[in-house]
């Protein structure tokens, strides 16, 4: 199994390590998933995301290449800004979901899912345009997410950079945290305010220790993949491999807001235009369990008449809500708020109801 530069840190903290797509990653630390979830919602949670991929696009043709590869409008990005987007096949199926950062007009960085790095790099190389170098810098790049309502306040003492000037989906380079050179972005995958801090892989252990101290002082803690999943599910952020894959399109997944059909051309645009014109037949739909039961990935979904209509892609407890929730693809007519569904929880049909929007939304400051 592959190890991130923080592997020894997790073991020393007593983490339960699991195989996550070939990576040895912490699923939880000794206080448990629920406590880590709560810490992130109320104070600070910090996450080792060094396993994620950083792919650089460099050269005068970088913007044109990135535009060809992703559905969002690259022309809209300024230096120091980032957006969430997807890369699609010609069929409109999703190759990966990613965040694209613009450093310079001739230098973009895509942060991609760990399990997709090799596939993505091959896809990007194959479809890049002229005058663009695609460089996989995943191995040499460390990444730590520092998330939660207390994140900015806890982090500020470690840097002279004024964090309050960093807007959501903005980032800054030439910053130091704890004396180490880093890039910092106001992005995350928890539904909270927070930061993602990129560093040299060799600096990651030192940075981690300093961040653990800062988080602990603020009542926060390291958080494993278990709570990362419950946090992102509550915020209704999709997970590639569960909610998104090459058989699903961004329009079906409710990601139409990152698909700019009228902008510059990109791979998959024709298929997505046709799908938009015809209307999507199925939609990724959120539901809450109205009876006692927990939906899990792969469970069958039924309509009110008892007909099988889809499959759960993500499901589990939403600890902040004290309810059990899930996501799954169902026919569009059943994706309307209030629609009654049932889920086959290990042979027992358990009632559920469609809800719109995130299950959990943080309060505005």
SS3 76: helix
Q: Which is nearer to another protein, 268 or 317 (CB)?
A: 317
Applying CB under 8 A, among 142, 286, 319, 326 the residue interacting with another protein is: 319
**Torsion of Cα atoms, 305 then 310 then 316 then 318, to 10°:** -70
Applying CB under 8 A, among 2, 3, 16, 362 the residue interacting with another protein is: 16
**Tokens of residue 288, six digits:** 């809450």
Nearest distance in Å: CB 350, another protein = 11
**Tokens of residue 23, six digits:** 């990576």
DSSP code string of 263-321: SS--TTHHHHHHHHHH--SEEEEEEEESSS----TT-EEEETTS-EEEEEEEEEEETTT
For residue 53, the number of C-alpha atoms closer than 13 Å in the C-beta half-sphere is 22
**Tokens of residue 45, six digits:** 């949670």
Nearest distance in Å: CB 226, another protein = 5
Cα(209)–Cα(201) distance, integer angstroms: 14
Applying CB under 8 A, among 12, 346, 364, 365 the residue interacting with another protein is: 346
Nearest distance in Å: CB 89, another protein = 31
Applying CB under 8 A, among 4, 28, 113, 187 the residue interacting with another protein is: 28
Total residues interacting with another protein, rule: CB under 8 A: 19
Applying CB under 8 A, among 115, 116, 230, 342 the residue interacting with another protein is: 230
Per rule CB under 8 A, is residue 326 in the interface with another protein? no
Applying CB under 8 A, among 53, 317, 326, 328 the residue interacting with another protein is: 317
Per rule CB under 8 A, is residue 115 in the interface with another protein? no
Per rule CB under 8 A, is residue 320 in the interface with another protein? no
Contacts of residue 48, defined as CB under 8 A and 6 or more positions apart, other chains included, come to: 4, 6, 9, 10, 25, 26, 144, 208, 222
Applying CB under 8 A, among 15, 17, 25, 33 the residue interacting with another protein is: 33
Stretch that binds another protein, among 31-39, 123-131, 188-196, 329-337 (CB under 8 A): 31-39
Applying CB under 8 A, among 150, 316, 326, 328 the residue interacting with another protein is: 316
199-202, Cβ contacts within 8 angstroms, sequence gap of 24 or more: 199/141, 199/142, 199/143, 199/144, 200/140, 200/141, 200/142, 201/5, 201/50, 201/139, 201/140, 201/141, 201/142, 202/5, 202/142
Per rule CB under 8 A, is residue 65 in the interface with another protein? no
Per rule CB under 8 A, is residue 2 in the interface with another protein? no
Applying CB under 8 A, among 45, 226, 254, 268 the residue interacting with another protein is: 226
Per rule CB under 8 A, is residue 323 in the interface with another protein? no
Per rule CB under 8 A, is residue 24 in the interface with another protein? no
Applying CB under 8 A, among 34, 152, 172, 212 the residue interacting with another protein is: 34
Q: Which is nearer to another protein, 15 or 178 (CB)?
A: 15
Per rule CB under 8 A, is residue 45 in the interface with another protein? no
DSSP code for 244: B
**Tokens of residue 31, six digits:** 């206080």
Stretch that binds another protein, among 64-72, 135-143, 225-233, 328-336 (CB under 8 A): 225-233
Cα(179)–Cα(171) distance, integer angstroms: 18
Site string for another protein, 234-273 (x = CB under 8 A): ----------------------------------------
CB distance 28 to 231 below 8 Å: no
Per rule CB under 8 A, is residue 349 in the interface with another protein? no
**Binders of another protein among 276-315, rule CB under 8 A?**
292-294, 296
The burial class, CB within 10 Å (0-12 / 13-18 / 19+), for 212 is middle
Cβ atoms within 10 Å, residue 70 = 28
Cα(106)–Cα(239) distance, integer angstroms: 30
**Binders of another protein among 165-204, rule CB under 8 A?**
none
Residues that bind another protein (CB under 8 A): 16, 27-28, 32-34, 226-227, 229-230, 292-294, 296, 316-317, 319, 324, 346
């Amino acid at each position: 199994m592959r190890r991130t530069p923080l592997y020894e840190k997790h073991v020393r903290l007593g983490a339960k390590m699991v195989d996550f797509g070939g990576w040895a990653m912490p699923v939880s630390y000794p206080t448990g998933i629920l406590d880590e979830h709560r810490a992130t919602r109320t104070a600070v949670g910090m996450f080792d995301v060094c396993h994620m991929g950083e792919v650089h696009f460099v050269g005068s043709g970088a913007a044109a290449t990135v535009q060809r590869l992703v559905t969002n409008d690259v022309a809209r990005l300024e230096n120091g800004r980032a957006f969430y987007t997807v890369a699609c096949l010609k069929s409109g199926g999703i190759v990966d979901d990613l965040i694209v950062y613009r450093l310079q007009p001739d230098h973009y960085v895509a942060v991609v899912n760990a399990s997709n790095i090799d596939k993505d790099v091959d896809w990007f190389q194959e479809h890049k345009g002229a005058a663009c170098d695609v460089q996989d810098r995943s191995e040499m790049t460390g990444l730590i997410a520092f998330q939660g309502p207390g994140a900015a306040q806890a982090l500020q003492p470690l840097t002279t950079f004024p964090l309050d000037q960093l807007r959501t989906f903005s980032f800054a380079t030439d910053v130091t945290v704890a004396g180490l050179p880093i890039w910092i972005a106001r992005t995350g995958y928890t539904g909270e305010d927070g930061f993602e801090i990129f560093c040299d892989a060799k600096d990651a252990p030192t940075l981690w220790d300093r961040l653990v101290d800062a988080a602990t002082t603020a009542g926060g803690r390291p958080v494993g993949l278990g709570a990362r999943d419950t946090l992102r599910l509550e915020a209704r952020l999709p997970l590639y491999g569960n909610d998104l894959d090459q058989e699903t399109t961004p329009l079906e997944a409710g990601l139409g807001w990152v698909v700019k059909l009228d902008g510059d051309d990109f791979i998959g645009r024709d298929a997505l235009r046709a799908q938009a014109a015809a209307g999507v037949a199925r939609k990724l739909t959120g539901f809450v369990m109205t009876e006692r039961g927990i939906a899990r990935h792969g469970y069958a979904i039924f309509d009110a008449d008892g007909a099988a209509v889809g499959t759960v892609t993500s499901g589990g407890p939403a600890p902040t809500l004290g309810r059990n929730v899930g996501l799954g693809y169902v026919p569009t007519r059943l994706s309307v708020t209030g629609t009654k569904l049932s889920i086959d929880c290990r042979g027992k049909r358990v009632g559920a109801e469609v809800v719109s929007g995130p299950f959990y939304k943080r309060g505005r400051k």
